[in-house]
Amino acid sequence: MFLKLEGKRCLVVGAGNIGELKIGGLIDTGARVHVVALKAAAAVHEWARDGKITLELRAFTPEDLDAAFLAVVATASPDLNEFIYREAQRRGVLCNVVDVPEYCDFYYPAVVRRGDLQIAISTGGQSPSLAQRIRKQLERQFGLGYAPWVAELGATRRLVLASDLDPERKRELLHSLASREALNAALTEESAKRVAVEVAENDRRVTA
């Protein structure tokens, strides 16, 4: 399940090195990020100054969970982490206590991103290291050329769906567009474009 977090209030408790990573990820989703921590990493302070997050340097209170869509907990106190999780459960707020699977309603997957293509790998919190290793393998398998191809697929799909073709013909076309042959052709074309750009750039440098 991929959650759309844009505009949703997300609470992060703890803003050290681990909390910083989670905060950065939430910023990328367009969420409204509210951070509560006794102290914060330099990057977190910078995000606050830039207006990307709301930062309060103080102790957590249960009221911080009010109106929160989800909470991420990354403090160094096991007792506090459990307390926040219990409060989140009582209030119906999704919660993730980092590196404590039994106190998680959701897990952070390792993700391969190629434009709109996202491949998520999870071990259910059992071995993040394994998930990261598999991610690196998939990054090699699914190269950068997938990003423009997926974007092109989306544009073509919208044209097909808006056409007057019968539903069965539309289905056939969409399946053929996503075939291995179409993929190979698209990736070959993308590779040729990159080579052409590199050659042109090299020629320009030589001329200059």
Tell me the pLDDT tens digit for each residue of 192-207: 455 444 435 654 554 5
Mean pLDDT of 61-73: 97
The residue with greater pLDDT, 157 or 192, is 157
Place of tokens 């997938």: 146
Task: Say if CB 143 and CB 187 are below 8 A apart.
Answer: yes
Mean pLDDT of 24-49: 97
Long-range contacts of 78-82 (CB under 8 A, 24+ apart): 80/13
Give the span between the Cα atoms of 13 and 164, in whole angstroms.
Answer: 53
Residue 111 is predicted with a pLDDT of 87
| 9-107 against 109-143: fold identical | no
> What does the pLDDT look like over 74-91, one tens digit per residue?
999 999 999 999 999 999
From the options 3.50.50, 3.30.70, 3.30.429, 3.30.160, give the CATH code of 109-143.
3.30.160
Q: Is 9-107 CATH 3.30.360.10?
A: no
Which strand (E) or helix (H) includes residue 151? helix 146-162
**Which range has highest mean pLDDT (23-37, 122-136, 149-163)?**
23-37
Give residue 30's pLDDT band: very low, low, confident or very high (50, 70, 90): very high
Q: Tell me the domain boundaries of the chain.
A: 9-107, 109-143, 146-207
Residue 187 is predicted with a pLDDT of 67
Residue 201 is predicted with a pLDDT of 60
Looking at residue 52, its amino acid is K
Radius of gyration for the alpha carbons in the chain, expressed in angstroms and rounded: 22
Mean pLDDT of 1-21: 94
